[in-house]
Amino acid sequence: MQNIDALVCCEPGRLEIVQRPAPHPESGCALVRPRRVGICGTDYHIFQGKHPFLHYPRVMGHELAVEVVEASAQSGLAKGEICVVNPYLSCGRCIACRAGKTNCCANISVLGVHQDGGLAGLLSVPESNLIKAVGLTADECAAVEFLSIGAHAVRRGGVTGRDRVLVVGAGPIGLGVTLFARASGASVAVLDRSEERVATAQTIAGAAALPADGDTSAAVRAFTDGDGFDIVFDATGSQAAMEKGFDFVANGGRYVLVSVIKETITFMDPDFHRKEMTLFGSRNATNDDFRRVIDAIRGGDIPIGRLVTHRTTLGNAASSIPVWANQKAGLIKALIEID
C-alpha cells in the first residue's frame, strides 16, 4: 500500500512529518492532491492548544487548492484540474442543511479540525465539496476559503451601500470582511492595535482607520458624529474586544461576531435593548460564498499577490508554523506548497 507524508500536530506545540497510508475514496468522494495550503488563525490556535473543537493528533489544513487525481465520471471533474475545496462537510439531513445553511450543519465535520485535513500528499474529499475555479492559479484557489469567511459574514450582516461599517480586527479574516463590505458599497473603517495591519487594510481595501489607543468608544462617537456604526464586525478572537464591540453599534444597528473563542461573552442587556440591536453569529461559509469569492478574484477585484506574504514547503512546515504563530510582523497569509 502506498504511503504519503502528512504533517501531524501530535499535541499542542508539537508538529511532526509522519508516513501514513494513502486514502481510498469512498463512493461520492474524489482523490485529490493538495498543492497549496493556507495557514490561518485556526491552525495557529490548534498548534497552540487554543481551539475549542479539536482533539489531537490532527492533520491541519482547510484552506486548500487541490489537483484532482481520481473522480467519478458523473462528477464533471477532470484529472489534473485545480479546484477549491469547501472544507465544511455537512450531513445534508439536519435542520440547518434542510434550510440550506450547510455552513452550520448540526453534524458538521471540518477538514483539518474535526477530521484530518490537507497537509498531506493525498486527500479524499466529497465531490460535492470540490468547486471548479477555471482561470485561477493554485495560490488564488488556496485563498478562496479564508476570503469566503469574510464574504459570508458580510452577507450575514446584510451590508448595503447605505451602511457605515466597522471591522474590529484587521487580520486575514477581518481583511476579507473589509474587502467584501467595500464591494457591497459600504463606507468601512477598521480598528486594530497593529498599525501595520491597519495600513494594509487602508491600502488594499480602501478602509478608513480608527485610532486604537485611548478611549475607543470616544473615537467611534467622533468618527460617526455620535451615532455609532450601522454594522460592526468582530474578527479579533479576543473576549474583551468582542464585549467592547457592543458599545460601537448604533441604535437599530447590527453586530456580527465572526470570531470563535472558548470563553463566555457577556453584554449589558439594557443597552442592547435600548438600541434594539441585532446580534449575529457568522460561521464558516457556503458554496455560494465560495463562488462569489472566485468570481471576485477572477474579475481582478482581490489582489491575492499582495495578500500572500509567506510560504514554505510541507517538509519545512514543522519549523515554519511555530515561527508564524508567534511572529506576525509582515504576515498576512502564509502558504504551504506541496509538490
DSSP letters, 130-182, are EEE-TT--HHHHHHHHHHHHHHHHHHHHT--TT-EEEEE--SHHHHHHHHHHH
Tell me the domains of the chain and their CATH numbers: 3-132+303-337 (3.90.180.10), 150-281 (3.40.50.720)
Amino acid 2: pLDDT: 84
pLDDT tens digits, 119-174: 999 999 999 999 999 999 999 999 999 999 999 999 999 999 999 999 999 999 99
* Rama region for 214: left / alpha / beta (φ>0; ψ in -120 to 50; rest): left
Q: What is the mean pLDDT of the chain?
A: 95
Q: How many CB atoms lie within 10 A of CB 115?
A: 12
Amino acid 54: pLDDT: 81
Q: Is the pLDDT of residue 41 over 90?
A: no
pLDDT tens digits, 316-325: 999 999 999 9
Could you identify the residue written with the cell 474586544? 241
Q: Is the pLDDT of residue 71 over 70?
A: yes
Give pTM, 2 decimals.
0.94
Q: Is the pLDDT of residue 14 over 90?
A: yes
Secondary structure of residue 97 in the 3-state scheme: helix
Q: Where are the alpha helices (DSSP H) in the chain?
A: 41-48, 95-98, 138-157, 172-183, 195-205, 216-223, 239-244, 269-274, 287-298, 304-307, 317-326
Amino acid identity of residue 141, one-letter, is C
Amino acid 1: pLDDT: 52
How far apart CA 112 and CA 185 sit, in angstroms, is 34
Amino acid 50: pLDDT: 79
Judge whether 189 and 223 are in contact, CB under 8 Å: yes
Amino acid 6: pLDDT: 97
Percent residues over pLDDT 90 in the chain: 93
Amino acid 52: pLDDT: 72
pLDDT tens digits, 17-37: 999 999 999 999 999 999 999
pLDDT tens digits, 182-235: 999 999 999 999 999 999 999 999 999 999 989 999 999 999 999 999 999 999
Q: CB within 8 A of 300, min separation 6: which ones?
A: none
pLDDT tens digits, 91-114: 999 999 999 999 999 999 999 999
> Any idea what the Cα angle at residue 41 is, between residues 34 and 290, rounded to 5°?
55
